Amino acid sequence: MKIQNNFLQVIGTCVALMLIWLTFNEDNPNQGVTVPAINPGMTYVTHVFSKVKVAAPFWQKHLCDLRNVSLEATEQKQIPLHISMNDAAIKPGEKNIFLLETSCDPRPTYRAWCAVESWAAQNPKGYVYYVMTAPYLQDLTGIVTALLAAYDNMKITPMNLTQLFQLTPLDKFFSTLKWAKSTGWPTIQLSDILRVALVWHYGGYYSDTDIICIKDVTPLHNVVGLQQPHELNNAHFHAQKGHPFIYKIMLGMLQHYNPRAWGSLGPTLFTRVMKEACGAHILDSKDGLKFQKCFNMTIMPQRIFSPVFWSANQKLVDEGGWEVLEKDFDASYTIHFYSQLIKVKPVRAGGRSVYDVAAKKYCPVTYKFATAHSHFF
Ligand SMILES: *[C@@H]1O[C@H](CO)[C@@H](O)[C@H](O)[C@H]1NC(C)=O
Ligand SMILES: *[C@@H]1O[C@H](CO)[C@@H](O)[C@H](O)[C@H]1NC(C)=O
Ligand SMILES: *[C@@H]1O[C@H](CO)[C@@H](O)[C@H](O)[C@H]1NC(C)=O
């Protein structure tokens, strides 16, 4: 009886929201990307209406403690992200696209939202999942609502990580918090293991949140990119569900993890596994468009995913840089901005740096929010 009442209540709320929304839209036929008055996007977040309180899982407690984020939504404009058994209802498929927030951050940066939006915008046939570890999202500006309303192929996804990792060889590594103990980089390591677990279990693409997608990538299958000659990057890759290369990566993680070395589960490991399988020569692509294959993975030359070399990434935020570099992006599907290196430098809106122009073009909703009250982002 009680369940039925709750159910009716939820249906009632949905119908009411729908009507308000329709009315609102009718009054504003040309509203473009402005923020809707209410929150239709809420319905994309699974279990928003759930009243069932479940204790935060151990991994979430650990992450949120590190950041001093409370485990419960208490203020207004917080969208709760409840973890449940069947969250997200992600289907296995080649067109899944995963981006991650692994530091219990309820307020991802505009640059992170830009990445997420760019994937949704350039890949209308893809399904973009932004997997969150925070217990709620703080939507003070309304950007979350606006993005979810603008892209119906984009979802915010809380996730039962225990359940996911149980389906992989990384189960124990995850559940014993090995990735978080005696190390300075728990969130990076979680991100490294979570991306491979997701792609292994569901199949699809993974992308870091300092990448802007500039082209439909869905024709590319089973790919990984070089970030410089002789070195692969794990910042963006695609693999079919259950791909043997990803399996090998997971085994490599168990074997080669070093809590005291930065990124021991990242590019170094991808590079090592590939070299062990096919020999070092497999990675010495000069920057020509030479596509090597190993493990049924195609190794993409640098310019496909990371057209500007990381040590030159200053060029990506220099004013007027777009005009200088635009031609270099002809063959590229994504631009990697290496946020670790450029986040200290704000970009001026209208300055026509590569970041400025790319954001305006490829993540228009986020760009509008980011530049609404500030000349820099
Ligand atoms: C953590 O948050 C609490 C409550 O918001 C606050 O009182 C405390 O000072 C914070 N601690 C740190 C280390 O930031
Ligand atoms: C997450 O999954 C684990 C393992 O399947 C299960 O024991 C736990 O109850 C789940 N947590 C939630 C909140 O559903
Ligand atoms: C190898 O990869 C291609 C796509 O790149 C895919 O169509 C094919 O099924 C894969 N083969 C095997 C044996 O996994």
Average pLDDT over residues 190-200: 98
CA of 68 to the centre of ligand 1 (A): 6
CA of 56 to the centre of ligand 2 (A): 10
Q: How confident is the model over 28-63, as pLDDT tens digits?
A: 333 333 333 333 333 334 334 344 566 889 999 999
Q: Evaluate if residue 27 carries a pLDDT over 50.
A: no
As a whole number of angstroms, the distance between CA 328 and CA 232 comes to 20
pLDDT at 105: 95
pLDDT at 222: 97
Q: Where are the alpha helices (DSSP H) in 137-266?
A: 143-150, 161-166, 171-175, 186-202, 244-256
Residue 79 β-bridge partners: 137
Domain 32-372, classified CATH 3.90.550, yes or no? yes
pLDDT at 229: 84
Q: Is the CB of 84 under 6 A from ligand 2?
A: yes
As a whole number of angstroms, the distance between CA 75 and CA 84 comes to 22
Q: Evaluate if residue 73 carries a pLDDT over 50.
A: yes
Q: How confident is the model over 102-136, as pLDDT tens digits?
A: 999 999 999 999 999 999 999 999 999 999 999 99
Average pLDDT over residues 231-237: 95
Q: Is the CB of 160 under 6 A from ligand 2?
A: yes
Mean pLDDT, the chain, whole residue set: 84
Q: List the domain boundaries for the chain.
A: 1-31, 32-372
Q: How confident is the model over 255-309, as pLDDT tens digits?
A: 999 999 988 999 999 999 999 998 888 887 655 556 788 889 999 998 899 988 8
Q: Evaluate if residue 340 carries a pLDDT over 80.
A: no
The pTM (predicted TM-score) of the whole model is 0.85
Ligand nearest to the CA of 293: 3
CA of 269 to the centre of ligand 3 (A): 23
Q: Where are the alpha helices (DSSP H) in the chain?
A: 2-27, 58-67, 110-122, 143-150, 161-166, 171-175, 186-202, 244-256, 267-278, 302-305, 321-325, 339-342, 354-362, 364-372
Q: Evaluate if residue 143 carries a pLDDT over 90.
A: yes
Q: What percent of the chain has pLDDT over 70?
A: 81
Q: Evaluate if residue 23 carries a pLDDT over 60.
A: no
**Residue 104 is encoded by which pair of tokens?**
């219990």
Average pLDDT over residues 218-232: 92
Q: How confident is the model over 157-175, as pLDDT tens digits?
A: 999 999 999 999 999 999 9
CA of 139 to the centre of ligand 3 (A): 41
DSSP class per residue in 285-346? --SSS--EEETTEEEE-HHHH--S-GGGGGGGTSTTHHHHHGGGGTT-SEEE--HHHHTTS-
pLDDT at 343: 59
Mutating to test ligand 2, I would choose from 52, 87, 160, 165 the residue with most ligand atoms within 8 A of its C-beta, which is: 160
Q: Is the CB of 114 under 6 A from ligand 2?
A: no
pLDDT at 285: 63
